[in-house]
Amino acid sequence: MAFFIWRDSFNIGIEEIDQQHRKFMEMLNECYEAVSFAKTTTINHELVNKLKAYVSMHFDYEIDMLKNTGYIETEQQLKQHKYFESRISELESSLLHVNAESLITVFSFLRDWFLNHILENDRKYVSFVNQAAKIGTK
């Protein structure tokens, strides 16, 4: 059974963002499976670097979109993104010193935080971004 299964109810309605969110969760599943099914206490640094790079790309894309539309809570989003990125960095720095159970706890945190962020914070900007897009196309 997958660590995380995407549901359509998690979509926020901005296709590019939704695709990026799904891709991140797929990557997190890949990391989880590497640890839990292999029963290993380490995870490939390349996999974590790939995860970090993807998260960074996604957050940059999202922040650029919010800045371009003048979204008032962009700084709050940026602070939350930086926090999440710091947690992934903690994962990377602790790779050699944890057991599989500890890594799964970290993956659970990352999954839950990211999903909560999508459902609570990202949904806040959807109508604003959509409205700005309508104005921009007129």
**Above 60 in pLDDT, residue 39?**
no
Q: What digits encode the pLDDT tens for the residues 105-121?
A: 888 888 999 999 999 99
User: Does the structure show a pLDDT above 70 at 8?
Assistant: yes
Number of domains in the chain: 1
Q: What confidence category does residue 1 fall into, taking pLDDT thresholds of 50, 70 and 90? A: low
Residue 88 domain-assigned (yes or no): yes
Q: What pLDDT sits at residue 138?
A: 45
User: Following DSSP, what letter does each residue of 23-52 receive, concatenated?
Assistant: HHHHHHHHHHHHHHTTT-S---HHHHHHHH
Instruction: Show the domain range for 124.
Output: 16-137
Q: Is residue 9 part of a domain?
A: no
Share of the chain above pLDDT 70, in %: 85
Give me the pLDDT at residue 81, please.
95
- Residue 72 belongs to a domain: yes
